[in-house]
Amino acid sequence: MSEHKDNQLQQVLSLLADGEFHSGQGIAEHLSVSRAYIWKLMQQLQELGLDIESVTRKGYRLAKPLSLLDHEALNRDTNFDCQVLLTTDSTNQQLKGQNFAHHKVVTAEYQSAGRGRRGRQWVSPLASNLYWSLGWQTHMPVQQLGGLSLVVGLAVANALTKLDIQGIELKWPNDIRYHGKKVGGILIELSGDAVGGLQVIIGVGLNIDMHPQAAQAIEQQWCNVNDIFEQQALPKKSRQQILIACLTELENYLQTFEAYGFAGFLDEWQQKDECMDKKVVILQADKDIKGIGAGVDATGAFLLQTGKGIKPIYAGEVSLRLRE
Ligand code: BTN
């Protein structure tokens, strides 16, 4: 979608976000376009999954009000250069190549081709969750980046703790979990070697208020941050507040990681490690290995206790599952 069209759809959505009726004429004047064109924009918003009611002589309204991400507030309240898109293929993809910049954050209300680890899809319905990617240029040698997704997980877990949520756990190497259900995931990709360091793209998806109908393609147990607020009788926070909390923690955690590596995070990881002392299986392309989770080492490798001793497992193309 062109930037201009994305912008027009964002303007329409900002008007409709209050859940009140807005006349086609009024919206058309606001955008300086025809009413027929507004009708087309409404069709497109509906195709993106929005429930829009259209009533003669009253206009258009959303079935339920929305709170959209506000790029000015994000830029004011974080130290990153933040861009908010209405739709994109994948925020990680958006930061690749020429578009890469250190400390640039791309976030979107909707991803048409959200990516998970190991080629999986990341379900990304409109204005329900958080999807963001951060460009991070670093002088760390690539061999030390094994602990990066763990550090990002710790930063997000800590941000949620600061919003009073208790009980967030992490599953090596990239899952943010609550009571055995996935609440978020991390996808780290390298954009290239630049003069002056490696270009790393840190992508994070966090389920906030996803409708179960939108989540039918998800093959594992999942939950929303809003479900946790409810279960713990906490007041809900907006997606904007949650994103600011996550980015603030991420900035601090990345600084420490770059200065001291992963070793300093070992204790914190151990406290949040869902697999510690649990029966697990490592799924590899050729064979599965069963064992007991024994934490991680100073490089971020998973430690699997097997009958033959402790075996380090490196992220790459493996999956970790808990066993009954
Ligand atoms: C996983 O758990 O498999 C990783 C999920 C990562 C999803 C995020 S959403 C923002 C960014 N853009 C993407 O396409 N993927 C990541």
Question: What is the DSSP track for 208-233?
Answer: SS--GGGGTT--S-B--HHHHHHHTT
Helix (H, G, I), strand (E, B) or coil at 286: coil
Helix (H, G, I), strand (E, B) or coil at 128: coil
CA distances, 143 to each of 201, 310, 311 (Å): 16, 21, 18
The structure tokens listed for 292 are 């007991």
Q: 228, 243, 270: which is the final residue of a domain?
A: 270
Does ligand 1 have an atom closer than 6 angstroms to the CB of 122?
yes
Which residue has the least CA distance to atom 15 on ligand 1? 115
The structure tokens listed for 259 are 């200065």
Number of domains in the chain: 3
Which residue has the least CA distance to atom 9 on ligand 1? 205
pLDDT at 194: 66
Domain shared by 133 and 156, yes or no: yes
Domain shared by 37 and 149, yes or no: no
Nearest ligand 1 atom to alpha carbon 122 = 7
Nearest ligand 1 atom to alpha carbon 92 = 12
Going from the Cα of 246 to the center of ligand 1, the distance in angstroms, rounded, reads 15
Domain shared by 146 and 195, yes or no: yes
Helix (H, G, I), strand (E, B) or coil at 110: strand
Going from the Cα of 25 to the center of ligand 1, the distance in angstroms, rounded, reads 39
Going from the Cα of 39 to the center of ligand 1, the distance in angstroms, rounded, reads 33
Domain shared by 157 and 9, yes or no: no
Does ligand 1 have an atom closer than 6 angstroms to the CB of 115?
yes
Does ligand 1 have an atom closer than 6 angstroms to the CB of 177?
no
Domain shared by 257 and 172, yes or no: yes
Query: What is the tens place of the pLDDT at every residue in 75-114?
Result: 999 999 999 999 999 999 999 988 999 999 999 999 999 9
Going from the Cα of 266 to the center of ligand 1, the distance in angstroms, rounded, reads 24
The DSSP call for residue 7 is H
CA distance 250 to 252: 5
Domain shared by 34 and 152, yes or no: no
Does ligand 1 have an atom closer than 6 angstroms to the CB of 125?
no
Domain shared by 264 and 283, yes or no: no
With a CB cutoff of 8 Å and minimum separation 6, the contacts of 292 are: 277, 278, 279, 280, 304, 305
Does ligand 1 have an atom closer than 6 angstroms to the CB of 117?
yes
From first to last of its 324 residues, what are the pLDDT tens digits of the chain?
A: 788 888 899 999 999 999 999 999 999 999 999 999 999 999 999 999 899 999 999 999 999 899 999 999 999 999 999 999 999 999 999 999 889 999 999 999 999 999 999 889 999 999 999 999 999 999 999 889 999 999 999 999 999 999 999 999 999 999 999 999 999 999 999 987 767 789 999 999 999 999 998 899 998 999 999 999 999 999 999 999 999 999 999 999 999 999 999 999 999 999 999 999 999 999 988 889 999 999 999 999 999 999 999 999 998 778 899 987
Nearest ligand 1 atom to alpha carbon 93 = 14
Domain shared by 211 and 242, yes or no: yes
Q: 11, 27, 62: which is the final residue of a domain?
A: 62
Query: What is the tens place of the pLDDT at every residue in 212-245?
Result: 988 999 989 999 999 999 999 999 999 999 999 9
Domain shared by 11 and 111, yes or no: no
- Counting beta carbons within 10 angstroms of the beta carbon of residue 210, is it exposed (0 to 12), middle (13 to 18) or buried (19 or more)? buried
Could you write out the DSSP letters of every residue in 78-95? SSSEEEEEEEES-HHHHT
Taking alpha carbons only, the member of 22, 81, 25 closest to residue 53 is 22
Task: Return the half-sphere exposure (C-beta side, CA atoms, 13 A cut-off) of residue 137.
Answer: 15
CA distance 148 to 258: 10
Q: What is the CATH number of the domain that holds 202?
A: 3.30.930.10
Could you write out the DSSP letters of every residue in 26-84? HHHHHHTS-HHHHHHHHHHHHHTT--EEEETTTEEEESS------HHHHHHHSSSEEEE
Domain shared by 86 and 195, yes or no: yes
**Using an 8 Å Cβ cutoff, are 285 and 196 in contact?**
no
Q: 15, 41, 62: which is the final residue of a domain?
A: 62
Length of the chain: 324
Domain shared by 177 and 150, yes or no: yes
Domain shared by 171 and 41, yes or no: no
Going from the Cα of 184 to the center of ligand 1, the distance in angstroms, rounded, reads 8
Name the residue range of residue 23's domain: 3-62
Does ligand 1 have an atom closer than 6 angstroms to the CB of 146?
no
Q: What is the CATH number of the domain that holds 33?
A: 1.10.10.10
The reported pTM is 0.94
